[in-house]
Amino acid sequence: MKRTHLFFFILLSLSVIAAGCTGYESSSPQSVSFKSGMLNDIEEVPAYDGVSSYNVADDGASQSSITRKVITTSSVSIEVKDTTETLDGISDIADEFNGYVSSSSAYTRYGDDDGMYGSITIRVPSSELEKVLDSIGDLGKVTSESTSASDVTEEYIDVNARLSNLEKQEKRLGEILEMSTTVEEILDVEKELVRVRGEIESLTGRLNYLNDRIDLATINVDVSEPRNITHSWGLRDALSDSVRGFIGSVNGIIVFIGVAIPIVIFVSIVGVMLILVKRRVWR
């Protein structure tokens, strides 16, 4: 009986000691020690260097599961009867397909009979690109047309992944900031938060830019009026050449006179002086 009581007493003592140790550990203040590497545990996100670490086209499965991100740009040159009217027409086409005009300009060629030319850049939904090009082609005679596509899928995935990682870093740093107990710790965490938030803003801006370029295709249109052709059997060109030749000759004569006059004056003075010297000698 005494041995049984002694066994229970030892067991109870061990339980109290163990509970005390656990209570001490749980009641000890939670402080953040940056020297122990809490901030270093947060994974750094490398900058995108133009070569994504994500392979999006290794096999057919990955190709079918990923929507390609493509930036499309088209260039068109057309001949029209009225440049100003055509530019307005292209602007109306952009509005019709929920796009907008990025830039537009018109110029008059040298000479009253040489007509006008201009250019316009519009942004339209990429899904409507072919329809818009067909509508622009109906405004005049298409002399050239080209379309280029730039695949930015890898960069798009990379930017998204880095942005997600940085947002997790921001959340973790917020938790660490709440646990910080000293001014030095708070300043260190806030400094890191500023850096992370700056990178988040930069990546968000890049992602918005990519989305804009992907969703809206760019179309550059050069518009020109055909030059007027006159049946003058070359008389107009001959007259123009003769006028230019006459003007060139007059310019040459003026230059020659400007150079010759000082020489003539100098030679005349020297000649007069020589004549006077000879007369005195013969006397």
Q: Which of 122, 117, 112 is nearest to 140 (CA)?
A: 117
Q: Is the pLDDT of residue 58 over 70?
A: no
Q: Is the pLDDT of residue 203 over 50?
A: yes
Q: Is the pLDDT of residue 89 over 60?
A: yes
More confident residue, 258 or 9: 258
Question: Can you tell me which residue has the tokens 């809206």?
Answer: 216
The string of pLDDT tens digits covering residues 167-198 is: 999 999 999 989 988 999 899 999 999 999 99
pLDDT of residue 108: 86
pLDDT of residue 234: 57
pLDDT of residue 31: 42
- Per-chain mean pLDDT for the chain: 78
What is the pTM (predicted TM-score) of this model? 0.60
Average pLDDT over residues 271-283: 75
pLDDT of residue 8: 39
For the chain, what's the residue count? 283
pLDDT of residue 224: 92
- What crossing angle do the helices spanning 129-137 and 83-96 adopt, rounded to 10°? 160
Q: Which domains occur in the chain, in start order? A: 67-151+217-224 (3.30.70)
pLDDT bracket for residue 279 (50, 70, 90):
confident
pLDDT of residue 244: 77
Q: Is the pLDDT of residue 6 over 80?
A: no
Q: Letter for the amino acid at 39? A: L
Q: Which two tokens stand for residue 253?
A: 């004569």
Contact 71, 191 (CB under 8 A): no
Side-chain-facing half-sphere of 12: CA atoms under 13 Å: 6
Q: Is the pLDDT of residue 12 over 80?
A: no
pLDDT of residue 205: 96
Q: Letter for the amino acid at 279? A: R
Q: Is the pLDDT of residue 22 over 60?
A: no
Q: Distance between CA atoms of 86 and 230, rounded to whole angstroms?
A: 25
Contact 139, 86 (CB under 8 A): yes
CA 54 from chain centre, in angstroms, equals 23
Q: Distance between CA atoms of 170 and 165, rounded to whole angstroms?
A: 9
pLDDT of residue 2: 44
Q: Is the pLDDT of residue 151 over 90?
A: yes
Contact 74, 129 (CB under 8 A): yes
Q: Distance between CA atoms of 70 and 128, rounded to whole angstroms?
A: 14
Q: Distance between CA atoms of 96 and 138, rounded to whole angstroms?
A: 15
pLDDT of residue 32: 43
Enumerate residues 6+ apart whose C-beta is below 8 A from 38: 32, 176
Q: Distance between CA atoms of 252 and 247, rounded to whole angstroms?
A: 9
Average pLDDT over residues 208-235: 83
Q: Which two tokens stand for residue 169?
A: 């870093």
The string of pLDDT tens digits covering residues 90-115 is: 999 999 999 999 999 998 877 555 67
Q: Distance between CA atoms of 67 and 214, rounded to whole angstroms?
A: 12
Q: Letter for the amino acid at 74? A: S
Average pLDDT over residues 33-56: 51
pLDDT bracket for residue 30 (50, 70, 90):
very low
Contact 48, 162 (CB under 8 A): yes
- Quote the percentage of the chain above a pLDDT of 70: 70
Q: Which two tokens stand for residue 168?
A: 């997790």
Contacts 24+ apart (CB under 8 A), 85-92: 86/139, 86/140, 86/223, 87/118, 87/120, 87/223, 89/139, 90/120, 90/122, 90/136, 90/139, 90/221, 90/223, 91/120, 91/122
pLDDT of residue 91: 95
pLDDT of residue 85: 94
